[in-house]
């Protein structure tokens, strides 16, 4: 199942969010990862939690199996009804990008929308706001380039 899900990550567009798992049912696969970093993968119609390196699947649900979901104050809480009964229950995660996670979750709930959105959007931020902006200004504003200039025996550092 994990191999299949990872294969789908590379074949179809999906979202990846880093979070801290702060609540999970005691009987779930995710319980051992409480208070640890987890990765939440969102794809059209499904969601998965993984942890560790290499990845270990600790939860997988179809979005129609999520009974309740709440996005509030950097926290995602959802009650999942797993077909196998193994991962039933309430999960809580803290995520610094909760607004984007909520947007992607809502898109993933509608067939094909998350994939379509991610295919047309390669990135965000100032680099992508205005395609016709003066590129030299953009480079100056956002450069973290470090240059070392040598003149004879002297060295100068330019940032």
CA-nearest of 21, 29, 107, 106 to 69 is 106
User: Which pTM value belongs to this model?
Assistant: 0.66
What does the DSSP 8-state code read for residue 1?
A: -
Q: Do residues 42 and 15 make contact, with C-beta atoms less than 8 angstroms apart? A: yes
What is the predicted pLDDT for the residue at 85?
78
The number of C-alpha atoms within 13 Å of 33 and in the hemisphere containing its C-beta is 24
Structure-derived torsion over alpha carbons of residues 89, 23, 56, 19, reported in degrees to the nearest 10: 130
Chain position carrying tokens 């998965």: 48
Domains of the chain: which residue ranges? 2-120
Q: What per-residue confidence (pLDDT) applies to 124? A: 54
**Which CATH architecture is the domain 2-120 placed in?**
Roll (2.30)
Model pLDDT, residue 95: 94
Q: Which two tokens stand for residue 49?
A: 């939690």
Q: Which residue has the tokens 């030299």?
A: 136
Q: Provide block-wise average pLDDT over 10 residues at a time, the chain (159 residues).
A: 43 80 93 94 90 91 91 93 83 94 91 82 50 42 40 47
Q: Which residues on neighbouring strands pair with residue 95, listed in sequence order?
A: none
Task: Spell out the alpha helix ranges (H) of 12-158.
Answer: 98-108, 113-120, 126-129, 135-142
Tell me, what's the pLDDT at 149?
41
């Amino acid at each position: 199942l994990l191999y299949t899900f990872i294969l789908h990550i590379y074949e179809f567009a999906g979202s990846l969010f880093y979070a801290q798992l702060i609540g999970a049912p005691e009987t779930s696969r995710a319980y051992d990862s409480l208070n640890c970093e987890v990765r939440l993968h969102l794809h059209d119609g499904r969601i998965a939690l993984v942890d560790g390196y290499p990845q270990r699947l600790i939860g997988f649900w179809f979005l129609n199996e999520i009974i309740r979901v709440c996005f509030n104050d950097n926290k995602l809480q959802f009650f999942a009804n797993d077909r196998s009964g193994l991962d039933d229950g309430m999960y809580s995660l803290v995520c610094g990008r909760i607004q984007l996670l909520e947007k992607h979750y809502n898109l993933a709930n509608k067939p094909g929308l998350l994939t379509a959105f991610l295919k047309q959007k390669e990135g965000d931020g100032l680099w992508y706001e205005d395609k016709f902006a003066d590129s030299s200004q953009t480079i100056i504003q956002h450069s973290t380039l470090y240059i070392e200039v040598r003149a004879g025996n002297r060295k100068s550092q330019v940032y």
